[in-house]
Amino acid sequence: MTNIRDEIIAARRAMIAVRGYTGGCVVPDRRMVPLVPFGSDPFVVCEIKRRSPSRGDLAPVHDAAAVAGTYARYGARSISVLTESEHFDGSLDDLIAVKSAHPNLSVLRKDFLLDEQDIEVSYRAGADAVLLIASCLTADQLATMHARATGLGMRALVELHDEADVEKARVIAPELVGINSRDLTTFRIDLLGPLVLRPSIDWPCEVVFESGIFTEEHAAYAKTSGFDGVLVGEAVVAAPERIPAIIAGLTGTGATRDRGFWPRIGEIRRRYLASTRPIIKICGITHRDDAEYACELGADALGFVFARSPRKADLAVLRTIRDLPVLRIGVTVIDAEHPELDPDVGTALSEGLIDAVQFHGDEAADECFSFAFPYYKAVRIRSDSDVVTIGTYRSPRVLVDAYDPSRHGGTGKEIDPGLVSLAAEQQPLWLAGGIGPHNVRRIIRDFSPELIDASSSLEETPGRKSREALAVFFKEVENAGIV
């Protein structure tokens, strides 16, 4: 498989060998512009770039300084300028132009910087901060470049991707860290990835969520997941008018509604990284004894149905199980017949009886955040075209379930294996649909799901779980990891 990061580094080394560290641009012999502290509120870093390896051409940028001015008019105070030429069509000329035209803005040089000479050139060109990608550097290089940048008065945004990067960074304990949701080897985005790594950063610092931020709810997701700022690229290059909403997501009331659901999902995922075990959600709980037994066996999450169903949840029951050490998810359906959020769901969220909402109806991508937060979307799939819709939703994960023309869930139907494979190519797989003791081992081995959602196949009657089925189910989950 092609490693895009290594290709970019090789291309940049070749460019330096021919054109030097300035890339052929005329950089002043000394810094001509003031240093402005990087990362002031609102900590939304808006990026200027023309293209990317994953998306190709993004938007024409004929005048980088004019783009920065537009960003500033929409409220941005920190600007990232991508100066890599071969893959992003940037240059130091862009950075010089931006800082010269807007000396009061704080400017980050974003590039695949390789040694101290890059730091010196960045400073002279007018950068107030530099990006240091830990995976591109040895521990000694990272320490040396970080020391030089801070010694010149710039901030260094140290970008981390995995535990090896964290080990390099921990030695210098940088005050500014970025976690990129984009895998630089493949350039694929995983919005949950930064939350899995975030607990490893065990020194005092500000942490920036990089990549994948397009909307207010994305920014709120980052803020409520322990991030102090966001770095936004494609979204604002294409539509700078998005900036105020993204600022609102990071600083406004939307960022106060979460109860830590996604960080806890990240912690559970982190716990299982070394094994094949998926996150297990047992849905359709209506009685405390079923909830207790599922938790005893190892359930990570419980689902409570707030829809017309024999498994309809009772708030009184939910109030009796708030002590159980498990995530609680309210499942609801919004459609033409029920166009508003069930009031019981709002009550459950406000009282802390549930940690998140699973939307299992016909909710549009731009509606869910206004109904409830945190949430994730469930999609019923029956064709390739249904699978494609997974990527249109904004939640970090989308649950895939079997399609039924008359029921939204709890049907006992399995999804066609070919469609499951296609769904797994879209994102880490969250899977529902006819999963029970008879097939869970095979499903784990065939598809490596990140989360499994089981309900009707574990019941004696609708709404009542079978203790025997639950015990066998969890045993089969355990057996799936035995070779």
With CA atoms as reference, report the closest residue to 455 among 215, 341, 284: 284
The string of pLDDT tens digits covering residues 193-212 is 999 999 999 999 999 999 99
- The per-residue pLDDT for 343 is 94
Catalytic residue among 283, 290, 300, 344: 283
Give Dmax over CA atoms of the chain in angstroms.
79
Q: What is the sign, positive or negative, of the torsion defined by CA atoms of 70, 75, 77, 82?
A: negative
Query: Phi and psi dihedrals of 106, rounded to 5?
Result: -95, 130
Residue 240 belongs to what H/E stretch? none
The string of pLDDT tens digits covering residues 3-14 is 999 999 999 999
**For residue 108, with 0-12 CB atoms within 10 Å meaning exposed, 13-18 middle and 19 or more buried, which class applies?**
buried
- Helix residue ranges per DSSP H, 321-427: 343-350, 368-371, 384-388, 417-426
- Is 368 designated active site? no
With CA atoms as reference, report the closest residue to 398 among 421, 374, 423: 423
Q: Which amino acid is at 371?
A: F
Question: Beta strands of 186-326 (E only): which ranges?
Answer: 206-210, 229-232, 279-282, 301-306
Separation CA 9–CA 113 (nearest Å): 9
Q: Please name the residues in contact with 280: beta carbons below 8 A apart, sequence gap of 6 or more.
A: 298, 299, 300, 301, 451, 452, 454, 474, 477
- The per-residue pLDDT for 405 is 62
| Contact of 435 with 429, CB cutoff 8 Å | no
Domains and CATH numbers, the chain: 4-256 (3.20.20.70), 261-480 (3.20.20.70)
The string of pLDDT tens digits covering residues 393-445 is 999 999 999 987 666 555 678 999 999 999 999 999 999 999 999 999 999 99
For residue 117, pLDDT beyond 80: yes
Catalytic residue among 93, 94, 128, 401: 401
For the entire predicted model, the pTM comes to 0.93
- Is 283 designated active site? yes
3-class secondary-structure state, position 158: strand
Q: What is the sign, positive or negative, of the torsion defined by CA atoms of 398, 402, 408, 411?
A: negative
For residue 457, pLDDT beyond 80: yes
CB atoms within 10 A of CB 446: 14
| Contact of 434 with 414, CB cutoff 8 Å | yes
- The per-residue pLDDT for 481 is 83
Q: How confident is the model at residue 336 (pLDDT cuts 50, 70, 90)?
A: confident
Residue 131 belongs to what H/E stretch? strand 129-133
Q: What angle do CA 179, 183, 186 make, to 5 degrees?
A: 165
Q: How confident is the model at residue 313 (pLDDT cuts 50, 70, 90)?
A: very high
Q: What is the mean pLDDT of residues 56-82?
A: 93
Token pair 């995976």 is found at: 135
